[in-house]
């Protein structure tokens, strides 16, 4: 396997294609287009976002068929993604305060209804090689790491993030070899659901 390979999407591609249908897939934090290339290779239309202009340029060169936007994932999603039924967010939603993270997940859930699918990876609190220990703490499990804010999640924090608006298909903590040192992440695959009305009888 090449150093550029990171086949985390492979087991889910059949489900992604079925769920997306003729709607675009929204990719949050596409980087240089590694996952974008995999998705487009199955025939999917992809609308991809990244904050880095350099990464967007590299992704455009790598996957010219996708639509790319250079923007913060906290900004309004592009209008062309309004019909998305699948969101992919690999290692891109763990840079924010707790409040911003909760808001982001709620925005994704709201976009995906009905019958939407989220595939996501987040930093684990066991990811000690990539910042989960030994750095200035801003709030619980949220650190300043080399000038960049990074959030790390334990199982309780992941469960809290997914409570109420998601039906979890798969949730696992795993070590990946994408970087020079092992990285520990949470891999989440979940269906968006409409939360129960607060006025509903208990």
Token pair belonging to 116: 């939407």
Domains of the chain: 7-192 (3.40.50.150)
- Per-residue pLDDT tens digits for 116-170: 999 999 999 999 887 778 888 899 999 999 888 999 999 999 999 999 899 999 9
d(CA 92, CA 148): 13
Confidence of residue 197 (pLDDT cuts 50, 70, 90): low
The pLDDT of residue 108 is 96
pTM: 0.91
- Note whether 51 and 70 are within 8 A (CB): yes
């Amino acid at each position: 396997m090449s150093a550029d390979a990171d086949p985390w999407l492979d087991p889910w591609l059949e489900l992604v294609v079925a769920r997306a249908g003729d709607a675009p897939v929204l990719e949050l934090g596409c980087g240089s287009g590694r996952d974008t290339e995999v998705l487009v290779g199955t025939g999917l239309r992809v609308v991809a976002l990244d904050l880095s202009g350099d990464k967007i340029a590299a992704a455009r060169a790598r996957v010219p068929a996708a639509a790319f936007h250079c923007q913060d994932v906290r900004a309004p999603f592009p209008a062309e993604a309004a019909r998305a039924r699948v969101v992919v967010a690999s290692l891109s939603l763990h840079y924010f305060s707790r409040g911003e993270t909760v808001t982001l997940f709620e925005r994704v859930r709201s976009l995906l209804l009905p019958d939407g699918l989220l595939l996501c990876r987040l930093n684990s609190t066991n990811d000690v090689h990539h910042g989960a220990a030994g750095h200035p703490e801003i709030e619980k499990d949220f650190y300043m790491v080399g000038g960049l804010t990074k959030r790390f999640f334990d199982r309780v924090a992941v469960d809290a993030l997914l409570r109420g608006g998601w039906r979890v298909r798969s949730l696992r903590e795993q070590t990946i070899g994408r970087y020079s040192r092992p990285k520990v992440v949470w891999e989440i695959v979940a269906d968006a659901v409409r939360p129960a009305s607060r006025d509903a009888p208990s």
